[in-house]
Structures are given as C-alpha cells and as structure tokens.
Amino acid sequence: MTDTLTTVLDGRWAELKTRLRERMAATKPPDTIGLDMESHRAQVLQQLHELAEAGHSKVSDDVGGSVISFQMLGYGDLSLMVKAGVQWGLFGGAVQMLGTERHEGYLRDIVSLDLPGCFAMTETGHGSDVQHLRTTATYDDGHFIVDTPDLGARKDYIGNAARDGRMAVVFAQLITGGREYGVHAFMVPIRDEQGRPMPGVRIEDCGPKAGLNGVDNGRLWFDHVRIPQEALLNRYGDVTQDGQYTSPIESDSRRFFTMLGTLVRGRISVAGGAGSATQRALTIAVRHAETRRQFRRPGGDEEVLLLDYLAHQRKLLPALATTYALHFAQEELVAMLHEVQSARVPDERAQRQLESRAAGIKALATWHATSTIQAAREACGGAGYLAENLLPALKADTDVFTTFEGDNTVLLQLVAKGLLTDYRDNFADLSPLATARLVAEQVMAAVLERLPARTLAESSDLRDRAWHRQLFADREEHVLAGLARRLRAAAGGDPFDAFNDAQDHVLRAGRVHIDRLVLDAFVNAIEQCADEATQALLNQVCDLYVLSNVEADRAWFLEHGRLSPARAKKVVAEVNVLCKQLRPHATTLVDAFAIPEQYLP
C-alpha cells in the first residue's frame, strides 16, 4: 500500500524523484545542530558546490523537473534549499527570463557557481510594493549610474549578499532623458575576485536570523555606481545609445508586472519546499505518537499510545489530510508552470491564471507549514523542543516562508483582485438574458439564506464527494458575488476605505477560491489512481480534508444557510469518526512520502 501511495504522490515526475531519493539515500547529510553562523554558511556553500558539480542546477527544458528538484531539497537543510533558490532560481532565473542573448555568458557561470550572485529587489522601505522601489539607474552616455538615494532605498534581506555574492541583479527605477520608466533589472558587480566590495558598493550583514542561518542575507548601498549599458537585462525594455527608451510593452505598469510574472517559479518553489518540510515534520510526529505512551488505560496496566487519543489524532490527522491535498495541488501547479513556460507561443491568459494560482497556493501551503510544524512540535512535547529531533530547525527555517517571496496577506489579495476583475469582465460580457439569470440566481441565494437550512441537501451522505464539490464551489461563488456587491455599494466613497473596510472579505474570497482548486486537484489525483484499496484510502483522506475544512469554516456555512445546525454538528462528529478510521493508516500515510531515513531523526 505504501508503495502504490508513493506512486500516486510522485505523479508525473516520479522517475526524477526516485533518482533524487536514491542520491539522497546514498550519503548522510552533514549535521547543522550547534553550528555557529559562519560554519553553517561555509557548509552550505560547500554543499551548493557539490550540487553544482552533480549537475543539479543545469539549465534544462524540463521546467517542472527543475522545480521538483528544488522541492526535494526541502527534505534536507532548508538553508541549502534557499541558497540554491537564490543562486539558480532568483539570480539565474532573472538573468534567464529578463536578459537576452548578450547575457547568456553569465548563465554558464551562474550554473557552475563560478559566479555567485544575488537577487537585489527588496528594499528596507519597499518589500511588498516593489513597483515603488527607490533605487535609481540613470542612463548616462553608454552607462547606467546605480544609486541608493536614502536609507529606505538600501537593498535589504538580500540572500548571498553578506558573504558570497559577486554580482547582483539590482532592481531599480530606470531613468533616461529625465523620465522614469519604472523598475528594471541590472547586473551590478558587488565584489571583486578577492571578495572585497566593489568601489561605491557598501555591504552589511543582516546578522543572525530566526532560522536559515546558513544563508548570508545582507544589505547593499550603491553610491553612484557606474555600470555599462549592457548590464541592463533588456528583454522587456532597452535604451538606445543616444538614450531613447524602447519597449515592446507600452505601459510602464504592465511592463513591470509582465517582468515580475516571468519570475513566478520562485513562488512555486517556496510552496513546494514548504510542502516537503511539512511532510517531514508530520513523519517525525506520527512516528513519535506511535511509540510514545502516556497514562494507563482505566482498569489496566497498559499505557496508551499518544496516537490513540482523539485530541492527538485531531492535532495531526486533519493536518496530514490537508498536506496530501496541498501536495496534489502543488503537483498540478508545477505541471501548469511547465506547460506555460514550455509553450512556443506565450498564452497571456494562462500566464495570469498561473500567477494567481501560484500566489494562492504559496500562501496556503506556507501558512499550513507554519501551523502544522507547530502542531508537530507540540505533539512531541519536550522531545520536540530538542534540536536533535529536527523540529526546531524545521520551525525556525520555514517561519519566513509566509512573508518572503510575497507576503501571504498581499498574495491572497492578488488572488482576490484577479477574481474580481474576471467577475466584472464576465458580467460585462453577458447578454441581457444571462445577466438577468445571474441576478435571479443571486436573489435566489439570498432567499435561501433566509430559509431554514435543512431544506438544503441535508439528506445527502456527509462523504458524498459531489456534495463536497458543490459546497466548495458554491462557497467560492457566493463569497465572490457578495464581495463584488459590497464593493459596488461602497463605490461612491473613498476608494481606499471601500476596499480596506472589506479586506477580511477580500482575503476570504482568495482563500476559498484556492480551497476549491485544491479539492479539484485532490479529486483528479484520486481518479488517476488505479489501485482500488489505495483509492479507497485516499478517498478517506480526502473526506477528512474536506470535512475538517468545512468544520473550521462552518460558521460561514451556518450563517449562509448552507448547513443546518444539526448537520454542522454532524460534520464535527464525522471528523472524529474519520480520525479514528484513519488512525491505523497514519504510518502508511507518512511513509508514503518516502523521505530518505537519513533525513529523519
């Protein structure tokens, strides 16, 4: 059963995963416990060189495969994963996606790690709102002058900057002929061969962090640093010798978001890394709960295994089910990325969908990682607090995932804004008849809310997948429609207040949309599974995913007449039943992640 489950989990890139697992199983990774920051950084750099030599980072046409390789690093020291992500994903990715032929020479050196580099986007004053970065790159007679005008414009939290980076892709406002054309990316040398800062470049170490201390984050200041004109990564915008700005995209804003969009791989990779870390934490916690006993059974001498307690099952098993769900959603997302970025003709609509889905799944997967790893730590008690049992590093290292590569709150808003735009577009496109039908449906929904809820599908089986899908889809539609109405009603007033007053509603719209996509992905994966017993088990896991999601959100379903009080109580009871039924399979379910034993305590 474990093997067939692993096959389902491995999916499209199964062969690659098997190969990587074999490589991981062949050697024990070096220990990170008790390392001081400098030793940890040195160790991670050494490991990064070994990865480069093993061909981990070679540029290939297998876009999806490269994300999967990255994800697999998530079973080990996450500092290595992040350092690899900075070097090859962000730094290399920017050169690849934003540069042109003239930058191809760099790529070879980036891949071989002969040119370690940084992705210098975030500034002290601007992290989420990168469109308004304040570093400038002013064209001057065949050169650009890169400058940090004030403290808020220094580049901050930049990986690879404090110790190892020699070059940085610097994002700055391009200015030529006295006009600003928005943010562009420039190749700026920051250290010489001897590792000394280049003239005009000031570098500061961000110092110790909560986790990821094997990554050397730093700050960069540029004091009128002169770089050649060719240093501009000029795929989406260029400057002629005489200072004329040219671009295939006219709008500064659209150009900027197109450039950002090409970098979506980073976000998808973080979501994948969060998934690997979550799987590892659950494997540790389930194994502990299957060996650790506490308190005797009434009237007996035998002590009870932790995993036999309902409260313990509730700590771990719904999180495990959600981890499965998010895993399948991540697999779909990687496949989508693969299709979009491998397509001969760019599909703008598909690209937009990909960006939205990547933003949403990144947000949900990283929040899920934070809460699940926390639950795993608590479920292991004092043992979970000891570094030797790996959970402390997992917690500390993954913590920043919720706010880097896009702050989760901002990302969910992006998702919702995209949905609102689509909603408006669809509404505008509708024929009068269709519009009337849509309005009628909304009125109907409002009426339903006022009816006793038991009239609504109260009789169907709590494990009926069709009902689950209807429940999720209906929630998504209703939340979005309500939000659109609410924003329209507030349209007369201050635009900031109108949106801000509904921000909790906005975030919910993003979240429930992604929840629906996650469920769809789970259902698709189950359908692909040929083995009947495995399918049956996966169906139970999916039931637990759905019902624990509904349980957590049942106030909404009750408020909107989608569940009656009696049925809502049954949902809670059914989660308990499912925990009991899945409890004997917990070990199988975590073993199916097939994490090499060297990566477990």
Q: For residue 347, what are its two tokens?
A: 């599909």
With CA atoms as reference, report the closest residue to 9 among 446, 522, 593.
593
Output 155 or 191, the one with its CB closest to a copy of itself.
155
In contact, 292 and 309? CB cutoff 8 Å: no
Output 248 or 565, the one with its CB closest to a copy of itself.
565
Output 396 or 438, the one with its CB closest to a copy of itself.
396
Output 132 or 196, the one with its CB closest to a copy of itself.
132
Min dist. Cβ of residue 435 to a copy of itself (A): 27
Min dist. Cβ of residue 209 to a copy of itself (A): 5
Min dist. Cβ of residue 504 to a copy of itself (A): 6
Residue 103: left (phi > 0), alpha (psi -120 to 50), or beta? alpha
How many Å apart are CA 516 and CA 473, to the nearest integer?
Answer: 6
b/e string for 338-367 if b means 16 or more Cβ within 10 A?
A: bebbeeeeeeeeebbebbbbbbbbbbbbbb
Output 69 or 413, the one with its CB closest to a copy of itself.
413
Min dist. Cβ of residue 493 to a copy of itself (A): 12
Residue that the structure tokens 């998530």 belong to = 74
With CA atoms as reference, report the closest residue to 307 among 275, 277, 282.
282
How many Å apart are CA 43 and CA 309, to the nearest integer?
Answer: 41
Output 105 or 149, the one with its CB closest to a copy of itself.
149
In contact, 328 and 8? CB cutoff 8 Å: no
Output 127 or 200, the one with its CB closest to a copy of itself.
127
How many Å apart are CA 293 and CA 288, to the nearest integer?
Answer: 9
Output 223 or 388, the one with its CB closest to a copy of itself.
388
Give the number of other Cβ atoms within 10 Å of residue 242's Cβ: 10
Output 5 or 390, the one with its CB closest to a copy of itself.
390
b/e string for 1-35 if b means 16 or more Cβ within 10 A?
A: ebebbbbbbbbbbeebbeebbeebeeeeeeebeeb
Say if residue 417 is exposed, middle or buried (CB neighbours under 10 Å; 0-12, 13-18, 19+). middle
Min dist. Cβ of residue 159 to a copy of itself (A): 11
How many Å apart are CA 351 and CA 343, to the nearest integer?
Answer: 11
Name the residue type at position 55. Answer: G
Output 343 or 387, the one with its CB closest to a copy of itself.
387
Query: Taking each helix axis from N to C terminus, what angle separates 348-379 and 252-262, rounded to the nearest 10 degrees?
Result: 50
Output 293 or 465, the one with its CB closest to a copy of itself.
293
Min dist. Cβ of residue 89 to a copy of itself (A): 18
How many Å apart are CA 179 and CA 181, to the nearest integer?
Answer: 6
Min dist. Cβ of residue 395 to a copy of itself (A): 7
In contact, 5 and 592? CB cutoff 8 Å: yes
Three-state secondary structure along 390-417? CHHHHHHHHHHHHCCCCCHHHHHHHHHH
Say if residue 67 is exposed, middle or buried (CB neighbours under 10 Å; 0-12, 13-18, 19+). buried
Min dist. Cβ of residue 33 to a copy of itself (A): 6
Output 239 or 456, the one with its CB closest to a copy of itself.
456
Output 108 or 132, the one with its CB closest to a copy of itself.
132
Residue that the structure tokens 């989660």 belong to = 575
Min dist. Cβ of residue 380 to a copy of itself (A): 8
In contact, 70 and 81? CB cutoff 8 Å: yes
Residue 10: half-sphere exposure toward Cβ, Cα within 13 Å: 19
Min dist. Cβ of residue 152 to a copy of itself (A): 9
Output 367 or 427, the one with its CB closest to a copy of itself.
367
Instruction: Using alpha carbons, list the distances in angstroms from residue 367 to 280, 295, 397, 401.
Output: 16, 33, 13, 8
Min dist. Cβ of residue 408 to a copy of itself (A): 8
Min dist. Cβ of residue 418 to a copy of itself (A): 17
Min dist. Cβ of residue 2 to a copy of itself (A): 27
